[in-house]
C-alpha cells in the first residue's frame, strides 16, 4: 500500500512506487487515494476524491505492478491508514507492506490509531529530499529501500499551474491532460 492525497500524482510518487516494488520485491503496489485526508482538510483546498483517483488511474495505466485503489473512497469518511491496512489484510493473501516517504515517517506520531498501525504495518521507508534519515518510532517494523531522490511535490505542481509554469516531465502527460480536462488548480483546457 502506498497511500496519498495525490493532488496531483507526480514523478516523485511514481519513481518511489516503482523502485519500492523493485527493491522490496513486491508483487504489486496499490496507490491508495485518500478519501478525506483529515490532516489537510481545512488547511488547504482539496480536489474532489474522484478527480484525484482519475489522475492516479491515468498515471499508472499500462504500468506493470502499479495499481490505483479507490478502497478509501468506497469506504468513505475520514481516511485512516490503519483501517485500510486491516481491510486489505482481510481481502488479500500474503504479506502487506506500507510504503511511506520520509516526510510521512517524520509525521507518524501525529497519526490516529497508531497502536493498530504498529501491529499491522511493515513499513518501507523511501527517502524524500528535506527529510532524509527520518525513521519510524520504536516498535514499528520497517526497512529502507533506496530510491532516486526527486525534489517534487504536489504543492509545487499546483503552484506551477497557477503560475503558468511548465509541468512537462514532472508528471505523466496523461495526468497533465487530466488536469486540463477537469480544470483542476485553475487550469484551462489548453495544453
CA quadruple 32, 33, 36, 39: dihedral sign: positive
CB of 36 to ligand ATP, least distance (A): 13
**Which residue in the shown chain puts its C-beta closest to ligand ATP?**
101
| Contacts of 107 by beta carbon, 8 Å cutoff, 6+ apart | 39
Residue number, 130 or 183, with CB nearest to ligand ATP: 130
CB of 169 to ligand ATP, least distance (A): 14
Residue number, 119 or 132, with CB nearest to ligand ATP: 132
CB of 189 to ligand ATP, least distance (A): 24
CA quadruple 168, 171, 172, 173: dihedral sign: negative
Interacting residue ranges for ligand ATP, rule: CB under 6 A: 4-7, 12-13, 16, 100-101, 103-104, 126, 128, 150, 152-155
Residue number, 82 or 90, with CB nearest to ligand ATP: 82
Residue number, 52 or 189, with CB nearest to ligand ATP: 52
Residue number, 107 or 180, with CB nearest to ligand ATP: 107
CB of 155 to ligand ATP, least distance (A): 3
CB of 52 to ligand ATP, least distance (A): 9
Long-range own/partner contacts, residues 56-59 (CB < 8 A, 24 or more apart): 56/6, 56/9, 56/31, 58/172, 58/174, 58/175, 58/177, 58/178, 59/9, 59/13, 59/14, 59/31, 59/171, 59/172, 59/174, 59/175
Amino acid at each position: 500500500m502506498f497511500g496519498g492525497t495525490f493532488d496531483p500524482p507526480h514523478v516523485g510518487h511514481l519513481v518511489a512506487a516503482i523502485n519500492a516494488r523493485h527493491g522490496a520485491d513486491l508483487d504489486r503496489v496499490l496507490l491508495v487515494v485518500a478519501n478525506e485526508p483529515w490532516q489537510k482538510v481545512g488547511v488547504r483546498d482539496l480536489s474532489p476524491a474522484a478527480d484525484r483517483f482519475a489522475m492516479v488511474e491515468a498515471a499508472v495505466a499500462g504500468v506493470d505492478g502499479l495499481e490505483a485503489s479507490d478502497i478509501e473512497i468506497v469506504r468513505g469518511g475520514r481516511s485512516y491508514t490503519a483501517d485500510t491496512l486491516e481491510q486489505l489484510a482481510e481481502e488479500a493473501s500474503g504479506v502487506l507492506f506500507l510504503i511511506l516517504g520520509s516526510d510521512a515517517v517524520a509525521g507518524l506520531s501525529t497519526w490516529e490509531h497508531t497502536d493498530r498501525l504498529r501491529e499491522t504495518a511493515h513499513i518501507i521507508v523511501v527517502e524524500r529530499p528535506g527529510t532524509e534519515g527520518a525513521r519510524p518510532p520504536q516498535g514499528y517494523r520497517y526497512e529502507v529501500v533506496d530510491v532516486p531522490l526527486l525534489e517534487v511535490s504536489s504543492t509545487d505542481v499546483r503552484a506551477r499551474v497557477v503560475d503558468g509554469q511548465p509541468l512537462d516531465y514532472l508528471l505523466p502527460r496523461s495526468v497533465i491532460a487530466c488536469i486540463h480536462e477537469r480544470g483542476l488548480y485553475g487550469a484551462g483546457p489548453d495544453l
